[in-house]
Chain A
């Protein structure tokens, strides 16, 4: 044995082994903690996005004039001042465009926006074959230019019993109920209403379509005006007035007034003209309430999009329901 002492090789190996083991463990723990921190930071950012979205929703609910939604409502001012720093909020009316899932053939032809070589009848058949669409692209791109599709049409729209395409209403019934025979019965009932030129009012919807159909279809099917006069695109407004042979000057006058005026439901008759209000379905297309809102919040690189639906048929404050929630990235 050596006189001079030296660390045993075994002890050195043990120390080395232990060090490697602890190094690996601490590295792994460090990585786990980093991922956990990232996850916590992500959750915090999400909380900021959600706080802004909820605040916007609250502003919508606190509208002092709940029976009319317009650019003069306090919510528009409120979203300009986000509470969370570095966040921006956008509010968009999603429903004040023509519902491409239900718009009638004649109106689509009359708007003159169909791509050359395509007819409204083809589009009706396309809807019949492919059903109701949530994404209008790419399906409808064959029929319209991308710009028109984005600016004039929407998928976020209720079906109005008085103005919805009858085949689209039959499709809706089938999608909800899964019974083709009953959907066809409903279709025949709608045809009868159209032949008799009867307009169904909101208050009599259940009685007109029967309790069973009402349970199946309401609130998706209702008798509320589909679009909000304050937000409907100018070309759709003009197109509707032209289609129902109402002097387009009235549409121009509405377009001139709407940035500074909040119209009430009782003013629509005066705005459209008595005859147009009573004898055309304009009041089924144009009202003063928005049914679907999109709230978009962006905080730095993170984003949140909410789609909120207003339930129809209420006369008090708006009843809103969150339909979609999407975080990005």
Chain B
């Protein structure tokens, strides 16, 4: 910027603004500065987005873990029933009877479009979406169902959630 100091000996220049060259240099400087700012901003935005995505996925997994444990903890297959008889699987739909210890009450779990739906008649909870999620029965060494296992792909690494029924076979 031009200063406002003026020498009394030099003749006063008219305030005619900047020369063409000055404008060009200033434009160039601002362009470079803008470019640097823009790329910094873009990478910061990318970083923030990535952090939010990761945190969001962690939160969703945490919520799924809590929901899964709470729901499966309510499954009380009596000690006289073979656990296999309490579970049925049709495609991606798992149906587990003996919810709260009542044979007619069924808990359903389904993986559809990356979302995991957990619920009973009249009340459904939905978690996700998760990419590369898998839902399957968890069995003991003897092959008896003991709970449900969910694996979720987190960009190369897999998170495994394991929720057991509220009861064990005798």
B1–A18 touching, CB < 8 Å: no
Question: When the two chains form the complex, which single residue of B2, B45, B58 contacts A32, counting CB atoms closer than 8 Å?
Answer: B58
CA distance A156 to B78 in the complex (A): 9
Q: Is B8 an interface residue (CB 8 A)?
A: no
Q: Is B80 an interface residue (CB 8 A)?
A: yes
A309–B102 touching, CB < 8 Å: no
Q: Is B67 an interface residue (CB 8 A)?
A: no
The interface residues of chain B lying within 8 Å CB-to-CB of A129 are none
Q: How far is the CB of B72 from chain A (nearest CB, A)?
A: 11
B59–A3 touching, CB < 8 Å: no
B17–A220 touching, CB < 8 Å: no
B73–A29 touching, CB < 8 Å: no
Beyond contacts A21-B44, A134-B78: 17 other A-B pairs, Cβ-Cβ < 8 A, are: A1-B18, A3-B2, A3-B4, A21-B45, A25-B51, A29-B55, A32-B58, A32-B59, A134-B98, A134-B102, A135-B101, A156-B79, A176-B80, A220-B79, A324-B76, A324-B166, A325-B166
Q: Which 7 A-B pairs have the closest CB atoms?
A: A134-B101, A134-B78, A32-B55, A25-B48, A324-B167, A135-B101, A32-B59
| Proximity string of chain A (19-30) to chain B, C-beta cutoff 8 Å, 1 when within and 0 when not | 001100100110
The interface residues of chain B lying within 8 Å CB-to-CB of A142 are none
Q: Is B81 an interface residue (CB 8 A)?
A: yes
CA distance A21 to B164 in the complex (A): 40
| A220-B170, A322-B168 known; A175 vs B81 contact (CB < 8 Å) | yes
CA distance A172 to B81 in the complex (A): 9
| A175-B81, A326-B73 known; A36 vs B52 contact (CB < 8 Å) | no
Q: How far is the CB of A215 from chain B (nearest CB, A)?
A: 12
Chain B binding surface, main DSSP class = mixed
Size category of the B interface is 35 or more
CA distance A309 to B56 in the complex (A): 42
Q: Is A189 an interface residue (CB 8 A)?
A: no
Q: How far is the CB of B88 from chain A (nearest CB, A)?
A: 14
**Sample (10) of A-B pairs whose CB atoms are under 8 Å apart:** A3-B1, A18-B41, A21-B44, A21-B48, A39-B66, A135-B100, A156-B79, A178-B85, A321-B168, A323-B79
In chain B between 35 and 62, which residues have their CB closer than 8 angstroms to a CB of chain A?
37, 41, 44-45, 48, 51-52, 55-56, 58-59, 62
Q: How far is the CB of B42 from chain A (nearest CB, A)?
A: 12
CA distance A208 to B32 in the complex (A): 95
Q: Is B82 an interface residue (CB 8 A)?
A: yes
